[in-house]
Amino acid sequence: MITAGSAPALVDEHYEIYGLCVRSPVPLPGRRLSGPQDASLDLAWESDEYFSRVRRRAPLAPGGVDWFSHVHLPDGADYLVWHDLFEFVVSRNGRSIACRQLKNGRAEAFQTYLLGQVLSFAMLRQGIEPLHATAVAIEDVAVAFVGDCGLGKSSLGASFLQAGYRLLTDDLLVLERRGDRYLAYPGPTRIKLFPEVALAVLGHVGGDPMNPTTSKFVIPLEEGQMATEPLPLAGIYVLRAPPATARKSTVSIRPLAPRRAFLDLVENTFNSVIVDAPRLQRHFELFAQVASSVPVASLTYSRDLGVLPEVRDHVLRRCAR
């Protein structure tokens, strides 16, 4: 357990998260693997001395450390720091991540940053292109929701949880092509919600605040609330804000042509920091293939929690067809 201002009790476990086998010295919210494993990614808890050496090679912007800073190091690694929370170094090949907790870091926040923003750097270095999405399991297929921050992807995911469906991932979605379809991989066993949303939709507020600058909570999910195996992706919904003239209860779903779907998927990449030519080529090729293989539709509804059951029912009916 990691508590603010203290070093963690180190372990040595393997977890499956986003289809990766992650070897970790600290507990992670993912499916624990047993027996000998070949890790796709190794985590290491490093000292202040280690990161002091890194910082001497990492010229940050004038005026000190911003809320978030990223520096591409001379050896090809990436240095990431969230002021007073955590700092990380992602190796050039994306196979290892060095971690350190700062004074205001908390366990749930560490897991959220590590398994979101930080892990996306490692994935890109390994040639894996993640989407910014929430996905749910409906019977034996997955349905994903993408869109700008604040449009309610996690809230809609929570609505499916409320109705007894399982969450597949919240915040980051990894796809892998298998024949003529795409598999969507499970993420960490948690969901991020504002407390008023958690209370209204799930009926309780659990977990801990994500960081000192937001009221969002990181809420752990129980066994049975998470899908544990990759599922075929049956559809993607692009969440859009409703026009000011729309009626409060209006739910609109419109299929998107592959060209429009491609542009929406490109806009919803999880990591917009790495923009080198090989990454951009892989990025465009993947989303062009997904847009032509998976049904993509726009989804518009008022940002009213009371409308979520109706939105969920629309999605379920389309999935059944």
- pLDDT tens digit sequence for 5-62: 455 656 789 999 999 999 999 889 888 998 778 999 999 999 999 999 999 888 765 5
- pLDDT tens digit sequence for 244-281: 666 666 899 999 999 999 999 999 999 989 988 999 99
Average pLDDT along the chain = 89
Q: Band the pLDDT of 66: cuts 50, 70, 90.
A: low
Please name which of 136, 126, 138, 132 lies closest in space to residue 150, comparing C-alpha atoms: 132
Instruction: Let me know: does 21 contact 38? Beta carbons within 8 Å.
Output: yes
| Fold entry, domain 133-320 | Rossmann fold (3.40.50)
Confidence at residue 2, expressed as pLDDT on a 0 to 100 scale: 45
Please name which of 283, 289, 175, 285 lies closest in space to residue 232, comparing C-alpha atoms: 175
User: What sign results for the dihedral spanned by CA atoms 81, 5, 13, 222?
Assistant: negative
Q: Is 290 helix (H, G, I), strand (E, B) or coil?
A: helix
Any idea which residue has 């993607």 for tokens?
Answer: 236
CA distance 142 to 140: 7
Instruction: Let me know: does 96 contact 42? Beta carbons within 8 Å.
Output: yes
User: pLDDT over 90 for what percent of the chain?
Assistant: 66
For the ranges 60-74, 151-165, 180-194, 289-303, which has the lowest average pLDDT? 60-74
Q: Where are the domain boundaries for CATH 3.40.50 in the chain?
A: 133-320
Confidence at residue 5, expressed as pLDDT on a 0 to 100 scale: 46
- Residues comprising the chain, all counted: 321
CA distance 51 to 139: 46
Task: Please give the angle made by the CA atoms of 148, 216 and 111, to the nearest 5 degrees.
Answer: 90
- Maximum CA extent, the chain: 59
> Which residue would you say has higher pLDDT here, 94 or 35?
94
Q: Is 291 helix (H, G, I), strand (E, B) or coil?
A: helix
Q: Is 1 helix (H, G, I), strand (E, B) or coil?
A: coil
Q: Is 90 helix (H, G, I), strand (E, B) or coil?
A: strand
Confidence at residue 117, expressed as pLDDT on a 0 to 100 scale: 93
The verdict on pTM exceeding 0.85 is: yes
User: Exposure of 141 by Cβ count < 10 A (0-12 exposed, 13-18 middle, 19+ buried)?
Assistant: middle
